[in-house]
Amino acid sequence: MLGNSLSISKEYLKKVIKPGDTVIDATCGNGLDTLYLKELTGKEGKVFGFDIQDIALENTKKLLKEKGQEENVFLTLCSHSELDKYVCEPVKAVVFNLGYLPKGDHSITTLPETTIVAIEKALQILIPGGIISVMIYHGGDSGFHERDELIKYLERLDNKRFTVLMHNFINQINYPPILAVIEKKK
Amino acid sequence: MLGNSLSISKEYLKKVIKPGDTVIDATCGNGLDTLYLKELTGKEGKVFGFDIQDIALENTKKLLKEKGQEENVFLTLCSHSELDKYVCEPVKAVVFNLGYLPKGDHSITTLPETTIVAIEKALQILIPGGIISVMIYHGGDSGFHERDELIKYLERLDNKRFTVLMHNFINQINYPPILAVIEKKK
């Protein structure tokens, strides 16, 4: 019943996103989240996707094509810290899946400095009632630095404007990812 | 949408408890959880309730009577650490609301030693797929000792048998309670 960080994130996104909404996948990776977001926003909705690796956007495009879900998906090869250059409209949800590309080069990872800039920009265009889901990988070859910096940042978010809820599976081996969900108050 | 620790706990309990189930309120307090559990288990279900304070059980009885929900509720004036003496049958859910009695004597509080014994005993009679919800108060005049001892204990629970998920609102003032949910694997 409790599931895992991914199933919890998907449940929140499903609750919040309605057909026709505009949303962002801040870390396309292999496209699984992009596809899920596209399915939730439907034909009329828009998904903006970002990644700094060519291979990630190629994999994402391929997956969307396979599933017939390419329409109204806008992929950009750049850091999510520049998302404000490409998305000017209000968004209902933003998804961050931090760390390295699954099955990719483990030396290319998200960094707390740019992740925090990206979250900051995402919060500005987030619709009240909208959410940002941040999957934080830690331990193993991800280390703890990004997790610790992010948590410090999230703890300081204005409680009058935002609610931050952390989900942490604490008795598992191999450091399962921590899920942070930020809601903009209405 | 994110709600608070209490609304999240209630949502989990609602998902898991079916009419006819047997459940435990390990800390009756003023009876709000006992009443909620009784409503979920229905006429045929059983609720065992514990508290170490007379006034708590009186308030609980009064509330249940007011709402016409006294049937099949078994209240015992003793520590939840002795719950095994009163409940021998398998249970679907157990609720702990730690700390002191709301509006009561702040010097009478739950203690990590007895709370951990109680959780240990509750885990033994928990049905696979069942849950234990633990609301952990900290900060203010509750201190951090019980929280820290409990988290150390929960981190060590056998991951092959149990999943432990912590919910923590990290950017709020006044230390909102942390919710721990333990699920027994099927």
Task: Express each pLDDT in A76-108 by its tens digit.
Answer: 999 999 999 999 999 999 999 998 888 888 889
Contacts of B123 in chain A (CB under 8 A): none
* B19-36 mean pLDDT: 98
Structure confidence at residue B70 as a pLDDT band (50, 70, 90): very high
Report domain A5-184's class: alpha beta
For B183, the token pair is 């699920």
Asked whether the beta carbons of residue A165 and residue B168 sit closer than 8 angstroms, the reply is: yes
pLDDT(A141) > 80: no
Nearest Cβ partner for B156 among A162, A164, A171? A171
- Residue B181: list chain A partners with CB under 8 A: 2
In sequence order, the β-bridge partners of residue A165 are A181, B169
Cβ-nearest to B159 among A2, A162, A172: A172
Residue % of chain B over a pLDDT of 90: 89
Instruction: Say if residue B28's pLDDT is above 80.
Output: yes
Residue B28 C-alpha from the chain's centroid: 8
3-state secondary structure chain A: CCCCHHHHHHHHHHHHCCCCCEEEECCCCCCHHHHHHHHHHCCCCEEEEEECCHHHHHHHHHHHHHCCCCCCEEEEECCHHHHHHCCCCCEEEEEEECCECCCCCCCCECCHHHHHHHHHHHHHHEEEEEEEEEEECCEHHHECHHHHHHHHHHHCCCCCCEEEEEEEECCCCCCCCEEEEEEECC
Global confidence as pTM: 0.96
Q: Hey, what are A38's tokens?
A: 């596209």
Tokens of A67: 């599933």
With an 8 Å Cβ cutoff, are A163 and B155 in contact? no
How does pLDDT run across B117-163, given as a tens digit for each residue?
A: 999 999 999 999 999 999 999 988 778 999 999 999 999 999 999 99
Distance from CA of B101 to the nearest CA of A (A): 26
Least confident of A87-96, A108-117, B101-110: B101-110
pLDDT at A174: 86
Residue-wise pLDDT for A64-77, tens only, equals 999 999 999 999 99
Say yes or no for a CB contact (<8 Å) between B181 and A16.
no
User: Cβ–Cβ of A183/B159 closer than 8 Å?
Assistant: no
- Quick check: B103 pLDDT over 90? no
Q: How far is A167 from chain B (nearest CA, A)?
A: 5
Q: Do B131 and A158 lie within an 8 Å CB cutoff?
A: no
Q: Where are the domains of chain B?
A: 5-184
Whether the predicted pLDDT of A182 surpasses 80: yes
Q: Across the interface, do A168 and B173 touch by the CB < 8 Å criterion?
A: no
The pLDDT assigned to B134 comes to 98
Q: What is the ipTM of this complex?
A: 0.95
Percent of chain B surpassing pLDDT 70:
100
User: Across residues B45-67, what is the average pLDDT?
Assistant: 98
Report which of A179, A174, A185, A171 is spatially closest to residue A13, judged by C-alpha positions: A179
Q: How far is B71 from chain A (nearest CA, A)?
A: 29
Residue B36 has pLDDT above 80, yes or no: yes
The pLDDT of residue A22 is 98
Of A154, A163, A170, the CB nearest to B155: A170
Nearest to B2 among A159, A165, A169 (CB): A165
